[in-house]
Amino acid sequence: MSTNDVVDLKPFKTMWKIKVKVIRLWKQYSAAGGETIEMVLCDLKGGKIYASVKKELVAQYEPFLRQDYSLMLINFAVIHSCGSYRTTSHGYKIIFLNTTRVRPCEKLPEDLSGFSPVQYKDVLDGTLNPNYLVDIIGQICEISHIEHINVNGKETEKLSLELRNSNDERLPMVLWGKFASDVSEAMQVRDDHSTIFVLRFGKIKVWKEERSVSNAYNVSEIALNPPMIEVDKFIASLPKDDLPLTIVESKYFATVNGVSDRDDFFIHTPRKTIAQILETKEVEKCILLCTITAIDSDMGWFYLSCKVCSKKVLSIPTSTNDDGNDDDLKYRNYCVKYKTYNPVTLPSNTKLLVFDNHAMQLLSQLCLQIVGSSNKFEIEETNVLPPALNSIIGKTFLFKIQIERENFVYKHETYKGLKVITNKDLISDFEDSNSQNASLPILGSASEQSESFDLTPAKRVKPGNNDFEESFDQNFVSRSVTSVLIKKEKFTKGG
């Protein structure tokens, strides 16, 4: 029996025989179909087709199916392919039967990836049918902070990017869920070289006649600077202009089947003053408008955390010999939770992505860029702050705060910051909506305290100071009088 080409597959028979490479494999669950195995297959001529293993046959075929495997498939059904998330342009798809034979075959070429990046202009002008998933390659030139969007009653991460191609055309990209957090985390430790973004099986989205590309659930696959021939060629074709990465604000008014940031802050979450937060005796979330007036650096403004568990790592001596000479003493990191030496670390607060993400949003810089060398284990001088941190003093922001049981039962001094809004127009609108209030009390009801606090030298007072308090289970809005000082804030436009 001779081998057939993928392009020739049609529904009129089942005795087909193809030699293919599994270029994409994932599991999918639905209430109707249960858990199934989904694949995209590619033959030596570049022909691609979608294939599916129904839940009744998953146990039978799962041991033989892996991404990047080269296989011989014999005897399977071919049916019409339809839907709005089609992975290939083939008019049909493969359905495994209980009589389908799966055999290993000689390995097909490593560079047989089926990767076919589309032109940006074809996405933006509507030439491409949005029912078909697409491949994208581009240099990341803009990135936003992560937003937490309420989609169908569940909070989901969202990250906005802008890519450019060799013609200097721009393409907006939106990532959701784990894709957003993974890319944001990877960008925290990027070097100064160009970051090339590769998306396999992305979804073209249309919103008010504007087109962008997004990940398509778990179908998509994303990589940054992967070792691919296509990436090397793309880098060589880019303009030689050393384009810097720009950190931008997200579009707060966009809604995707859920609650926008504006509605979350203005309608769905109660507003509280600091006095009201301190008096709260139940677990809840609230919105706080405040101005940063001082930074308490006693606790240090950064520490290294384990990338796995997000807990602070300790710096311990590398040698147990006590020869009395501490000048040449070297240190290494140790994760207490996982009992691991030199774990992968990132500068972070307790919640790695929360802290780095808000550093991007508040300071328009990546946290690693502010910290500097990743070999820096601990802060040597607490009263020396980077200019980027001082730049937020005196500025007003909107925070979404989580009040936990520990705050009112055990008097835990730090509240979790869930979201931050830095958009001036949105903050001004929020102030207008609160115009019936005269002012924000300062750390309780004693609003006059903002001018009378005595700070230690480590609490470098300018117009004011926010504490990025670095303890094991703290985020960054503290109620400690010596940690965060909040200026009286008038609820009038233009403040």
Cβ neighbors of 451 (< 8 A, separation 6 or more) are none
pLDDT at residue 326 in the model: 53
Radius of gyration of the chain (CA): 27
pLDDT tens track of the chain, all 495 residues? Answer: 799 999 999 999 999 999 999 999 999 998 888 999 999 999 999 999 999 999 999 999 999 999 999 999 999 999 999 999 999 999 999 999 999 999 999 999 998 999 999 999 999 999 999 999 999 999 999 998 888 787 777 888 899 999 999 999 999 999 999 999 899 888 877 766 789 999 999 999 998 888 999 999 889 999 999 999 999 999 999 988 878 777 776 654 444 445 667 888 888 899 988 888 888 999 999 998 888 776 666 656 566 666 656 566 666 666 555 555 555 556 666 666 655 555 444 433 322 233 456 666 676 666 666 666 545 545 555 566 777 777 778 888 888 888 998 888 888 877 887 888 888 888 888 888 876 554 444 333 333 333 333 333 333 334 333 332 333 233 333 333 323 344 434 444 444
Mind giving me the DSSP string for 165-188? -TT--EEEEEEETHHHHHHHHHHH
d(CA 414, CA 185) in angstroms, rounded, equals 24
Dig out the tokens for 429 from the structure.
Answer: 């609108």
Residue 217: predicted pLDDT: 84
Backbone angles phi, psi at 150, to 5 degrees: -85, 105
Query: Helix or strand or coil: residue 63?
Result: helix
- pLDDT score for 160: 92
The per-residue pLDDT for 267 is 87
Distance CA 306, CA 277 (A): 31
Determine the pLDDT at residue 421: 84
Amino acid identity for residue 217 in this structure:
Y
In this predicted structure, what is the pLDDT of residue 410?
80
The packing angle between helices 352-363 and 178-188, to 10°, is: 70
Instruction: Give the model's pLDDT for residue 389.
Output: 74
Task: Give the span between the Cα atoms of 365 and 388, in whole angstroms.
Answer: 8
415 phi/psi in degrees, rounded to 5: -105, 150
- Spatial CB neighbours of 59, under 8 Å, sequence gap ≥ 6: none
Residues facing residue 332 across a β-bridge:
316
- Say whether 149 sits in a helix, a strand or coil: strand
pLDDT at 431: 85
Token pair in block for residue 182: 């993974």
pLDDT, residue 22, reads 97
- CB within 8 A of 468, min separation 6: which ones? 295, 301, 302, 349, 355, 389, 476
